[in-house]
Amino acid sequence: MLVSLNWLSQYVDIEGYSADELAELITKGGIEVETVESLNKGIKGVVIGHVLECASHPDADKLSVCKVDIGEEEPVQIICGAPNVAKDQYVAVAKVGAVLPGNFKIKKAKLRGEPSHGMICSLQELGVESKLVQKEYAEGIFVFSDEVTPGEDALEYLNLNDTILELGLTPNRADAMNMIGVAYEVGAVLNRPISLPSPELVRSEESAENHVSVRIEDEEDAPYYGATIIKDVTVQPSPQWLVNRLVSAGIRPINNVVDITNFVLLEYGQPLHAFDYDRFGSKEVMIRRAKQEEKIVTLDDTERTLSSDHLVITNGHTPVAVAGVMGGADSEVQGDTTTVLLEAAYFNSKLVRKSSKDLGLRSDSSSRFEKGIDRNRVVPASERAAQLIQDLAGGTVLRGVAEQGARHVEAKDVSVEVARINQVLGTEISESEVAAIFDRLQFSYKNFGGTFTVQVPPRRPDITITEDLIEEVGRLYGYDNVPATLPITESTPGQLTDYQVKRRRVRRMLEGAGLYQAVTYSLTSPAKRVFFSDESPEAIRLAMPMSEERSELRTSLLPHLLEAAQYNINRQLENIALYETASVFLPSGSELPKEEEHLAGVMTGLWQEHPWQKEKKPADFFVMKGVVEELAVDLGLQDRLSFVRAQEPKLHPGRTAAVHLDGEAIGYLGQLHPEVEKELDLKETFVFEVNLEKMLTANVEHLKYAKLPRFPSVTRDVALVVDEMLEASEVKNVIQGAGGSKLVDINLFDVYQGEHLEEGKKSLAFSLRYYNPEQTLTEEEVKSAHDRVLQAVEEQFGAALRS
Amino acid sequence: MEERLQTLKEEALSQIESASSMKELQDIRVAYLGKKGPITEILRGMGKLSAEERPKMGQLANEIRAAISEKLDEKTQVMEKAAVEEKLKQETIDITLPGRPVNKGNHHPLTRVIEEIEDLFLGMGFSIAEGPEVETDYYNFEALNLPKDHPARDMQDSFYVTEETLLRTHTSPMQARTMEKLNGEGPVKIIVPGKVYRRDTDDATHSHQFMQIEGLMVGEDVRMSDLKGVLQAFAKKMFGEEREIRLRPSFFPFTEPSVEMDISCFNCGGSGCSVCKGTGWIEILGGGMVHPNVLRMSGFDPEKVTGFAFGMGPERIAMLKYGIDDIRHFYTNDSRFIKQFNHI
């Protein structure tokens, strides 16, 4: 909503406040002033001029040589290029020395040999937006239609000294979508009285009802419809004051009748529509639901197809307007219109919203109906428009209104106790202060011992319950005056859940291990969703995606994490280590999908680097595995997590492990398949993704301290030559099984293949530590346990001791 | 004999003096003081001396031995010290060379901001509730006093999955989900951080996915002044002790009265600058007193309890706090961006 301060001052005294001060006060009162804009874009020295003579330039077809009276002793000669300049016009002249928007200075000039002392201006040159310039002046200079005096300041006449406040209205404050509503608000904020227009209408003897009848099919859809008939209308341009009002509100002037309906829309918030009575097609206005597939060509010359969801105004046969949204082209007021049928109605806001949405048509009218207008202002607004048409278009207003429905609704009562106000706000506002605030709002009320029963006027449909009144009192009392306190309630232990504590620990552990946290999008493309899976579950797809790229919810974190890796690599960053914890979305069979928190990581390039000491450790499978293993340690799951050789689509078939927790697969770890690396333009890249929820919710036994060793332990190293395909974990398991309770530690310290070993064999070297917590181990104890180990690996794998 | 002893002494001392290695010193020790050395030999020949001279000579011999031994020890110490010094000299390094980097990642700035806010509210007795990102229309809208045809639904165009489910447009659905479980028994003190989604085209100031932290407190006698106090504590923690806050009336369907909170500009201190667009104030979050309909729908009696709620955007807070100029930085994961937040 654009509010002209010149216009506003017609209803409420704003003297003594600068535009910025006023904006600040209105904002603090609850309606945010988004911008304060002066219409004068730096203009100086523009006056009214009278074109006394206008002749063609001797040496240029498109230029005119004009003698212009600008209120000085002698007329000045001005060369003008506008096609519409003519003798006897009153125009805006930028004198020599004047400044136009953009700091454009006017100097004496010679145009094709003829001296020019100034410039005759178009509105655009004075800073008026092109879309607001009347059609007749769009391609040339502006011409005053009112009587004006040469030499006077043109800005005053053109309202270019005005300041505009742009209000950012929340949906509940539709009451401020019109000047009267703004006046009520500003009056309340400033605590000043307001004065509203009181239309004085002279009605003729002739009765409107002889010319038209009104029938509403369902008063639920249209609770009130009134038609006023105005005869002998002359359609012509509006006077400058009316033009100025519309321009200040961002509406382009068209002709007096249309401008008046727009003016009253802005002033009263009441959408009106003027039909050409002679083109209406009947003497009956019939308001009904549209028929299925019924068609209408609207004012914007577009054919619209309607349905029974839409309310239309008809002439008894065909639609002439989409109720509350837009009129039809056929019955539009035109230059030759002489009789006007003026519609003033109250339509169901939901229906208007539906029509507007379905037809993709938003108008100043529909946006007001949608949010709710003041039922009690319908008839006064209609009278105001009729009066203006009478005054400005020479119309004769017929007696009476053809109408159906109630003109008036009663104010609703809402009560509030002063004690309740103070309880909710935490204030100590007195009864008399509350009364004063309701007075400022111009609400009638009764007060019985601190209980206010307020008659809420229909102009404020947002106020329906006690809390709404508390807000009214609070905002005018001023939230600055509400103290800042801390709650007095029973104390509660603010703490993280176990899950949240562990999640924080996981993040810190991963960061300590060198990974950076990434946050990526949940919405992905169908291709990315299934990237890491052959048999992906059914997609959870948006009903109306904005793009295919963001159309489905992801089922894995890795695709976007890899995308982040690529993003970095494309920016010459080579060493990448990222992780993310986030939800993936899986079909659940019930209304909402299953959301599962996952953890994924990606690494490529160098893992560690210290150049001058020649240290370089590239990321590899075991770096990544170490991270996952350490994660298990941090969560107390080190003995329950295992890695099992596996195949995953998109991963290297020989370098992939399934991650198992208590024997159940919860994710995977591996290197990207070389083909995938090539496809994504990545070097060797290692990834993992696990179901984090499983890891964080696994039941971990309470930690109990283990006694420190009191006796020395004995370590024996053994290098075993086994088949190269045999996995170390198998050997370890057999050693563990055979070693008995004294074998407390098995540590793989060397893997060797090559010279001195038979083809197809490898050597695994383990360090075995024996310990007895009861007493110092004897040589016999160690020997017998160690012999069992050697025997077992010999029997199981044919493992020979490497000499 | 005395003469010989004196000569031996001088000889030994001079040799010690000129010795240049530990080995030489050791040789000197053996040569002069060893069992086969000349002093021992002289002492052995003392039987030929008179009883008078014998103790005198014995004493002299011992004195000379002691003197040589002392000199040897002295010289050894000097040489040891020199050796150590030489070793230290050789071991000297250029301490200005860079240290070996400790391999360490860090939090995403949004996580950091969220945890900082979580910790502040944990300290005030709030707990952290988390809920689904795909929500029912009921919890996302209806239970928050936004019936199906409410015009305010326009304010947050959303991603629907089905007619009745959508990607949550705020974390406020946890208000109803949490309250429902409590069967009308307060107090409720939660904050709800999480991802939310709106139908926006991604650009420098819009993101179709972003974070939100919702706060809710419901109990007997929870007042708007309490909201102001809690938010003031928040503003000071996040933006500095000297920050002031102001509440401005606003509108949200789920609160009544509703407010927006501004903080005094941390850049200019309130005098007006480009950060606060000349107003001295920066809009940070919205909130208000929980609408009685919301309480009622979730099983609380608005006659008995009141509550406040607020919602804030960690992206906005991070952008303001760290001067970040493009919201997309949070989601492209440029490591040069993330790494900057290694010490917060």
Per-residue model confidence as pLDDT tens digits over B130-143: 999 999 999 999 99
* Among A374-378, B155-159, B172-176, the least confident range: B155-159
Residue showing tokens 């990448």: A576
CB contact under 8 A, B110 and A519: yes
Rounded CA-CA distance A605/A598 in Å is: 24
Answer yes or no: do A688 and A550 share one domain.
yes
d(CA A721, CA A760): 10
- Cα–Cα distance for residue pair A359/A350, rounded to 1 Å: 14
Q: Is A21 left (phi over 0), alpha (psi -120 to 50) or beta?
A: alpha
- A152, A167: one domain: no
* B291 touching chain A per CB within 8 A: yes
Do residues A155 and A247 lie in contact, with contact meaning Cβ atoms separated by under 8 Å?
Answer: no
Return the number of other C-beta atoms located less than 10 Å from residue A194's C-beta: 19
Q: Quote the CA–CA distance of A20 and A28 in Å, as a whole number.
A: 12
Position A788 scores a pLDDT of 94
Q: Tell whether A490 is covered by a domain.
A: no
Nearest residue of chain B to residue A505 (CA atoms) = B107
Query: At A138, is the secondary structure helix, strand, or coil?
Result: coil
| Whether the Cβ atoms of residue A14 and residue A8 lie closer than 8 Å to each other | yes
Contact A396, A231 (CB under 8 A): yes
| Residues near A165 by beta carbon (within 8 Å), at least 6 away in sequence | A2, A3, A5, A19, A22, A23, A26, A33, A35, A36
Q: What is the CATH number of the domain that holds A650?
A: 3.30.930.10
Domain that holds residue A98: 44-158
Of A567, A604, A527, A599, which is closest to residue B331 (Cα–Cα)?
Answer: A567
Decide if B153 contacts B199 (C-beta within 8 A): no
Chain B contact set for A564 (CB, 8 A): 332-333
Q: How many cross-chain Cβ pairs, A to B, lie less than 8 Å apart?
A: 255
Residues A586, A596 contacting (CB under 8 angstroms): yes
Same-domain check for residues A254 and A340: yes
* B320/chain A closest Cα distance in angstroms: 19
Residues 6+ positions from A662 with CB-CB distance below 8 Å: A640, A698
Instruction: Tell me which residue of A276, A246, A275 sits closest to A263, measured CA to CA.
Output: A246
In chain A, how many domains are there? 6
Q: Are residues A148 and A264 in the same domain?
A: no
ipTM over 0.85: yes
The reply to whether A504 falls in a domain is yes
Peptide bond into A653 cis (omega under 30): no
Q: d(Cα A341, Cα A226) in Å, to the nearest integer?
A: 10
Residues A224 and A350 in one domain: yes
Please tell me whether residues A678 and A723 are part of one structural domain.
no
Predicted confidence (pLDDT) at residue B176 exceeds the cutoff of 70: yes
CA distance A147 to B1: 149
Structure tokens at A295: 């068609």
Instruction: Note whether residue A675 is domain-resident.
Output: yes
In this prediction, residue A803 carries a pLDDT of: 64
Cβ of A491 under 8 Å from any chain B Cβ? yes
Same domain assignment for residues A212 and A95: no
Selected residues 88-117 of chain B with any CB under 8 Å from a CB in chain A: 97-98, 100-101, 103-108, 110-111, 115
Task: Tell me the shortest Cα–Cα distance from A480 to chain B, in angstroms.
Answer: 6
Q: How far apart are CA A541 and CA A147, in angstroms?
A: 66
Residue A657, in any domain of the structure? yes
**Is there a contact between A241 and A392 (Cβ–Cβ < 8 Å)?**
no
pLDDT means per 10 residues in chain A (803 residues)? 96 95 93 92 91 88 90 90 90 92 89 90 91 89 88 91 93 92 97 91 88 94 95 93 94 93 96 94 94 93 94 94 93 93 94 92 90 91 95 92 91 95 96 96 95 95 94 95 89 90 97 96 94 80 93 95 96 94 94 96 94 92 96 94 92 96 96 94 95 96 91 94 92 93 94 89 94 91 93 89 75
Angle at B253 between CA B259 and CA B294, to 5 degrees: 105
- Our CA-based measurement puts residue A326 at a distance from the nearest CA of chain B, in whole angstroms, of 20
Helices (H), B242-325: 292-297, 314-322
pLDDT at B155 over 60: no
Q: Amino acid identity, residue A599?
A: L
Nearest of B304, B289, B126, B231 to residue A483 by alpha carbon? B231
- The pLDDT score that the predictor gives to residue B152 is 65
Instruction: Report chain B residues whose CB lies below 8 A from the CB of A166.
Output: none
Using an 8 Å CB-CB cutoff, list chain B residues near A608. Answer: 101, 103
- The answer to whether residues A439 and A527 belong to one domain is no
Chain A residues touching residue B256 (CB < 8 angstroms) = 465, 467-468, 470-471
Q: Which two tokens stand for residue A565?
A: 């890796």
Cis bond upstream, residue A115 (ω within 30): no
Q: Which H helix or E strand runs over A244?
A: helix A240-248
Q: For residues A28 and A83, state if they share a domain.
A: no
Question: What DSSP character marks residue B97?
Answer: S
CA-based angle A55:A60:A65, to the nearest 5?
A: 30
Residue A691, Cβ neighbours under 10 Å: how many? 19
B257-285 per-position pLDDT tens digit: 999 999 998 888 888 888 888 888 899 99
Residues composing chain A: 803
CATH placement of domain B109-341: 3.30.930.10
Neighbours of B289 (CB within 10 A): 26
CATH code, domain carrying A359: 3.50.40.10
Q: Do B335 and A568 touch (CB under 8 A)?
A: yes
- Nearest Cα to A489, choosing from B234, B288, B292, B189? B189
Query: Who contacts A101 (Cβ-Cβ below 8 Å, separation ≥6)?
Result: A41, A42, A43, A125, A126, A127
Of A192, A268, A272, residue with least CA distance to A439: A192
Beta strands A272-276 and A340-346, pairing class: antiparallel
Residues A546, A662, single domain; the answer is: yes
Say yes or no for a CB contact (<8 Å) between B256 and A470.
yes
Task: Quote the tokens at residue B57.
Answer: 């000579």
Q: Pick the residue from chain B with its C-alpha nearest to A552.
A: B161
| Inter-chain CB proximity B165 and A591 less than 8 Å | yes
Two structure tokens written together for A67? 């003698």
Whole-number percent of chain B with pLDDT over 90: 64
Residues A255 and A392 in one domain: yes
Read off φ and ψ for residue A553, nearest 5 degrees.
Answer: -85, 140
Closest Cβ–Cβ partner in B122, B230, B335 for A494? B122
Residue A196 resides in a domain: no
Instruction: Identify the band that residue B61 occupies on the pLDDT scale cut at 50, 70 and 90.
Output: confident
A608:B165 CB<8 A: no
Stated length of chain B: 344
Residues A84, A186 share a domain: no
Burial of A201 (0-12, 13-18, 19+ CB in 10 A): middle
Residue A424, φ and ψ in degrees, nearest 5:
-75, -40
Give the end of a domain, one of A450, A478, A506.
Answer: A478
**Which residues on neighbouring strands pair with residue A413, listed in sequence order?**
A455
| Residues with Cβ within 8 Å of residue A482, at least 6 apart in sequence | A425, A426, A427, A474, B224, B225, B228, B247
Q: What is the CATH number of the domain that holds A169?
A: 3.30.56.10
CB contact (8 A) between residue B224 and residue A467? no
Q: Tokens for A607, please give them.
A: 């893992």
- Rounded to whole angstroms, what are the CA distances from A399 to A160, A201, A491? 40, 10, 71
Contacts of B337 (CB under 8 A, 6+ apart): B329
Q: Which residues on B lie below 8 Å from A550 (Cβ)? A: 208
**Inter-chain residue contact A567 with B221, CB threshold 8 Å:** no
Domain stops at, among A478, A506, A532: A478
DSSP annotation of A217 reads S
